[in-house]
Amino acid sequence: MTAAGQQSAVDVVGEAGRRRTFAVISHPDAGKSTLTEALALHARVISEAGAVHGKAGRRGVVSDWLAMEQARGISITSAALQFSYGDTVINMLDTPGHADFSEDTYRVLSAVDSAVMLLDAAKGLEPQTLKLFDVCRHRGIPVITFVNKWDRPGREALELCDELVERIGLQPMPLTWPVGEAGQFQGVRDCLDGTFVRYQRTAGGATAAAEERLTPDQAQAEIGADWARAAEEADLLAASGGEFDPARFIAANASPVLFGSAVLNFGVRHLLDVLVELAPRPVPRRDADGNSRALDAPFSAFVFKVQTGMDPSHRDQVAFARVCSGVFERGMVVTNATTGRPFATKYAHQVFGQQRSTLDTAYPGDVIGLVNATALRVGDTLYAGKPTVRYPGLPSFAPGFFSVARPAEVGRAKQFRKGIEQLGSEGVVQVLRSDRRGDAAPVLAAVGPMQFEVAVHRLDTEFGVPVNLESLPYTVARRLDDPVQRSIVDTGRRSEVLSRADGTDLALFTDQHALNVMLRLHPDLVVSSLVAGTD
């Protein structure tokens, strides 16, 4: 390798080492979007934080920008926020918490190196949190746990930590410990140096909370019994296997635990510092053949999300791609491994929620937004040079809800077809075709019914097409492995066969009993399970 080549390789590896790419996951209403904005506030990339939408006098969170998100106060689509914190480049992905949008969250988790698992102090591990953690476990993603809302009444800190061990087998390793029970939050004990960190409230939590650090003796003198209890509990947990060990965190079998309140910005800076110090840096990724691609190999990336409607005045389409190797330079022409066709990257953006700015260069770990990317689909691999590079595709979840979609106005058929194609390419819903209904009446398939609400809303607001939905009775979907057997299943009574855009034939059944009956009557029928999330 030439001296210039060696310098280039060092630059790529060094730049990758400055990146921290992580997702924030939680059950709905745990405060996830509020936390993502609080982290941005502490990094000083915004001057004033909002809070959960609907609170009087407060701004909406920057990561919840869709009209439906602002109206409901929940995240229904993932959002990327890139910013700098000191010398570190943060790529933070806010994910939907609602189970109906698990597929979007799964795609996001394929693009990150670690995750922050947010727990509500009063509720602990909730069903959707458990499912998302299982995805992290399956992918070997290290998890940092942040216990939120400690300013409100909740459960005992030790009880919440015990739950991590008992329900998901994750050893808690507290880095901070709350002083004062939930609802009477006075600050935290820094478990690494034993000092007391006291926070000062700001008006509405709109600005970063000031911090005051006291020695253990000062804390004992001022706080008394609450400080002594906090120290005793933290030491007890450390002595029972909870002493901090970075190797166990990276191995994803133990989790650093911090306590705080995102809405008040208490404990948020500590979390940000932990992410910078402890979260894993980008490492070589394995391609579809199982080979590791070096960080300093020529440019490669994979598309994990496609989104339209970010700029209502243009309705352009943005493909979000995770850079896996090499240097991305705006304007470079890369190859789409799926189609073999070239793709020009003239319009590349750095994304901060709905806000975008031109991006000239990116390195492994970065998330880039490729604008006017109508030729790209979720799961596509982009690469420069030769030979061909292809990363593993992103599977579609097994849908459990099905509805026939028809335009309410026949004269809007062209716009209807365009809108349906767009929603399918983004993965908002799966679009299925049936021979009996034809292309004019596609079947929309979803993991959860709220996906239908999003699809109908977007067709109406973005494409001007009011839509009527007709529910179908099917609840079980399987892959039909032999097309010759299509006529066996496609009876139209308790089962039907529909085709997905990727060529997969889906055998649909009204319920598990109908599937079992079909298999007894036709023991040679070959069907297989689809990816069903974390089940």
Give domain limits for the chain: 9-77+96-106+113-278, 285-383, 401-528
Q: Residue 504 annotated as binding?
A: no
Tens digit of each residue's pLDDT (9 = 90 or more) over 331-340: 999 999 999 9
Asked whether residue 97 is marked as a ligand-binding residue, the answer is yes
pLDDT at 224 over 90: yes
CATH for the stretch 9-77+96-106+113-278: 3.40.50.300
**The residue to which tokens 């983004």 are assigned:** 426
Tens digit of each residue's pLDDT (9 = 90 or more) over 96-115: 755 556 677 788 889 999 99
Residues 6+ apart with CB under 8 A from 16: 281, 282, 295, 363, 364, 365
CATH of domain 285-383: 2.40.30.10
Bigger pLDDT: 423 or 334? 334
96 is in an annotated binding site: yes
Please state which of the ranges 1-10, 226-235, 300-309, 328-337 shows the lowest mean pLDDT.
1-10
Per-position b or e across 4-18, b if 16+ CB within 10 A of its CB = eeeeebeebbebbeb
Q: Cβ contacts of residue 305 below 8 Å, gap of 6+? A: 78, 104, 107, 108, 319, 320, 378, 426, 427
- The predicted pLDDT at position 529 comes to 86
Ordered DSSP codes for 306-329: EEE-SSTTT--EEEEEEEEES-EE
Tens of pLDDT, residue by residue over 129-164, are 887 888 888 889 999 999 999 999 999 999 999 999
Query: What is the model's pTM?
Result: 0.81
- The architecture in CATH of the region 401-528 reads 2-Layer Sandwich (3.30)
Cβ atoms < 10 Å from Cβ of 524: 8
95 annotated as ligand-binding: yes
